[in-house]
Amino acid sequence: MQTTLLYGTENLTIEVTDQAIVIEPHNLEGLADEEKEVVDALRNPIGTPPLRVMVKSTDKVAIVISDITRPTPNHKLVPWLVKELSHVPHQNFVIINGIGTHRDQTKEEFVQMLGEWVVENIRVINHHCHKQDELVNVGRSEYGCDVYLNKEYTKADFRITTGFIEPHFFAGLSGGPKGIMPGIAGIETIMTFHNARMIGDPMST
């Protein structure tokens, strides 16, 4: 019996025995108007003023995105965020690719991840966890390491992180906080938070 798996940018067809039970997810219909729903959420958030009220026209705005190994639909989210902050000049934005310890993305990959308009009109940079001149020390963690973060991120007046939420065995949930650490942290900070003590903790399940 043949079955098809989602794999990379294409499908992968594999052969399994006739006795195999193939478990498939329950399909849910997508939102009829994704942009409208996102914009409504930005304009009517829970427990905080709307995004465009919080961001001043003079602010330097950093948007941290997850890298190409994560399926966050930044080609939709980032243009909608920039559009919602239309009172902020394009030159005031910087998009930081939160790659952690992964490799840089190419311009072609940025176009794939963000769309051509964003890449041509907004400054997009890769984070580099090993380049000390691109990092700044923001304090010391109770786990015993200095905390280094991307300098462009710390210099911004307003900071936004995009991402998706999924279970994570020692962070609890992936999402916003992981966009910062390990996404745009220095290598010393990243290694401390991924060391044997952390991964081997009884609560890491």
pLDDT at 169 exceeding the cut of 80: yes
Q: Give mean pLDDT, residues 114-118.
A: 97
Q: Residue 28: beta bridge partners?
A: none
Residue spans per domain, the chain: 53-199
Q: How far is the C-alpha of 190 from the C-alpha of 127, rounded, in Å?
A: 13
pLDDT band at 177 (very low <50, low <70, confident <90, very high): confident
**Distance, CA of 3 to CA of 70 (rounded, Å):** 24
Nearest alpha carbon to residue 93 among 112, 78, 77? 78
| Predicted TM-score (pTM) of this structure | 0.89
CA 27/CA 50 separation, integer angstroms:
32
Residue where the block lists tokens 């934005």: 93
If you average pLDDT over every residue of the chain, what do you get? Answer: 93
Q: What is the pLDDT of residue 82?
A: 98
Considering the segment(s) 53-199 as one domain, its CATH architecture is: 3-Layer(aba) Sandwich (3.40)
Helix (H, G, I), strand (E, B) or coil at 144: coil
Number of Cβ within 10 Å of residue 129's Cβ equals 23
Q: What is the mean pLDDT of residues 153-162?
A: 97
| pLDDT grade for 107, boundaries at 50, 70 and 90 | very high
What digits encode the pLDDT tens for the residues 10-59?
Answer: 899 999 998 988 888 888 999 999 999 999 999 999 999 999 999 999 99
In whole angstroms, give the CA distance from residue 165 to residue 95. Answer: 20
Contact 122, 159 (CB under 8 A): no
Residue 48: CA count within 13 A, CB half-sphere? 10
Q: Which of 96, 41, 52, 102 is nearest to 74 (CA)?
A: 96
- For residue 157, pLDDT over 90 is answered with yes
| Angle of helix 34-43 versus helix 74-84 axis, rounded to 10 | 50
Q: Residues 188, 145: contact at Cβ < 8 Å?
A: yes
